[in-house]
């Protein structure tokens, strides 16, 4: 039979492994009496673990939410997975520091064999740069900003934003992450129009706002909507390019989020596209592999001409 300390840890591990346990099941697992289980549950409660109990033949125990976060028990694969995940955290301001602190605490208590495994993974596994397709740094989102949004979505509470210099009142429905950017899918209160708003461009008021009655899209439609909207309004720089090819051929060469293609005639179309810089935009357009003419903006016209001179000089 396990001593009291080991038994308490074993009991806590069982309670954390699934939503509910009958007292008889716990007693059988730990090879003790039902009375011992009741006493051990009281000891864990005294230590701050919120364990709910139901009396009667169908009664049992479950670990519920508490006022503070109690210590968690992880099995070996879970501990290794958490350690690896903490090393990979990026993209949200402040989270990297919290992840590093949590990783330090975890590694301090890992058994020697698991610490060696985590260290081996860190030493032998590498990752390339996260952002390899842009000369613009990825935006970081403060954790409290994401928390404010998800709380508003959960509570069906409006948000008041300052966005692109204007004040917006919106009904928030979904957060979508794509290409290392966060987008809020929301319905504008004043117009009823759906918007895909870049979170790093928004300043969100912390003041409480009125509740709203949800009128949601189908769940699978949110991501499709964001991808479509990014092409026309979700980039820092937008362009209009005439492509000397049928619209069907251009559509076959691009992702929906890259741009919107409008047919002009059987052999010409217009591509409305964007990127986070003029340089990236020029590269994207060139990768079409088709003849094109830049209509706007003037900065893209100038950069394409510059690239033409560079490529011409490179060819000798």
**Class assignment of domain 4-63?**
mainly alpha
pLDDT for the residue numbered 182? 87
Q: What does pTM read for this prediction?
A: 0.56
Averaged pLDDT for residues 282-306: 93
Question: Tell me, what DSSP letter sits at residue 142?
Answer: -
Q: Which of 177, 133, 184, 120 is nearest to 158 (CA)?
A: 184
- Joined together, the tokens standing for residue 200 give 């790093």
Measured distance CA(2)–CA(4) in Å, rounded? 6
Q: Which of 238, 229, 245 is nearest to 295 (CA)?
A: 238
pLDDT for the residue numbered 97? 77
Averaged pLDDT for residues 157-167: 94
Note whether 83 and 118 are within 8 A (CB): yes
Q: Tell me the C-alpha to C-alpha distance, in Å, between residue 164 and each of 23, 174, 203, 273.
A: 58, 20, 9, 19
Tell whether the model's pLDDT for residue 160 goes beyond 60: yes
Alpha carbon of residue 301 to chain centroid: 35
**pLDDT tens-place string over residues 76-116:** 888 888 888 887 776 666 677 778 888 887 887 788 888 88
pLDDT for the residue numbered 71? 66
Measured distance CA(40)–CA(152) in Å, rounded? 40
Measured at the CA of 87, the angle between CA 83 and CA 89, to 5 degrees, comes to: 120
3-state secondary structure 102-150: HHHHHHHHCCHHHHHHHHHHHHHCCCCCCCCCCCCCCCCCCHHHHHHHH
Most confident of 4-8, 99-103, 137-141, 197-201: 197-201
Note whether 241 and 292 are within 8 A (CB): yes
pLDDT for the residue numbered 294? 95
Residue 119: CA count within 13 A, CB half-sphere: 10
Query: Would you tell me how many other CB atoms lie within 10 Å of the CB of residue 167?
Result: 11
Q: Tell me the C-alpha to C-alpha distance, in Å, between residue 310 and each of 152, 278, 296, 303, 306.
A: 51, 16, 21, 10, 6
Averaged pLDDT for residues 153-163: 95
Measured distance CA(171)–CA(157) in Å, rounded? 7
For helices 112-124 and 76-87, angle between their N-to-C axes, nearest 10 degrees = 30
Q: Which of 2, 84, 78, 8 is nearest to 40 (CA)?
A: 8
Measured distance CA(293)–CA(296) in Å, rounded? 9
Radius of gyration of the chain (CA): 28
CATH topology of domain 235-314: Alpha-Beta Plaits (3.30.70)
* Confidence category of residue 282, pLDDT binned at 50, 70, 90: very high
Tell whether the model's pLDDT for residue 227 goes beyond 60: yes
- Residue at token pair 């919290």: 98
3-class SS of residue 131: coil
Cis ω before 155 (30° cut-off from 0) = no
Note whether 259 and 240 are within 8 A (CB): no
Tell whether the model's pLDDT for residue 54 goes beyond 90: no
pLDDT for the residue numbered 127? 61
CATH topology of domain 143-232: SH3 type barrels. (2.30.30)
């Amino acid at each position: 039979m396990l001593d009291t300390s080991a038994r308490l840890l074993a009991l806590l591990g069982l309670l954390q492994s699934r939503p509910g346990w009958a007292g008889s099941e716990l007693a059988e697992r730990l090879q003790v009496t039902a009375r011992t289980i009741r006493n051990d549950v009281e000891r864990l409660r005294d230590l701050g673990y919120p364990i709910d109990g139901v009396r009667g033949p169908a009664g049992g125990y479950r670990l519920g939410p508490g006022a503070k976060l109690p210590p968690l028990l992880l099995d070996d694969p879970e501990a290794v997975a958490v350690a690896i995940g903490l090393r990979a955290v990026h993209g949200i301001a402040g989270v990297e520091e919290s992840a590093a602190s949590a990783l330090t605490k975890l590694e301090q208590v890992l058994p020697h064999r698991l610490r060696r495994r985590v260290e081996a993974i860190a030493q032998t596994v590498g990752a390339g740069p996260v952002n390899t397709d842009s000369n613009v740094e990825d935006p970081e989102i403060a954790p409290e900003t994401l928390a404010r949004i998800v709380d508003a979505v959960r509570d069906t509470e409006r948000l008041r934003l300052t966005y692109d210099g204007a004040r917006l009142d919106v009904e928030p429905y979904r957060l979508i992450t794509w290409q290392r950017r966060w987008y809020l899918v929301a319905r504008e209160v004043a117009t009823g129009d759906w918007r895909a708003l870049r979170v790093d461009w928004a300043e969100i008021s912390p003041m409480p706002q009125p509740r709203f009655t949800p009128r949601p899209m189908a769940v699978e439609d949110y991501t499709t909507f964001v991808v479509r909207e990014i092409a026309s309004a979700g980039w820092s720089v937008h362009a209009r390019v005439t492509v000397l090819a049928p619209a069907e051929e251009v559509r076959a060469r691009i992702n929906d989020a890259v741009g919107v293609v409008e047919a002009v005639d059987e052999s010409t179309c217009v591509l409305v596209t964007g990127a986070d810089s003029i340089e990236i935009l020029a590269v994207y357009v060139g990768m079409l592999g088709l003849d094109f003419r830049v209509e706007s903006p003037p900065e893209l016209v100038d950069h394409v001409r510059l690239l033409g001179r560079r490529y011409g000089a490179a060819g000798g």
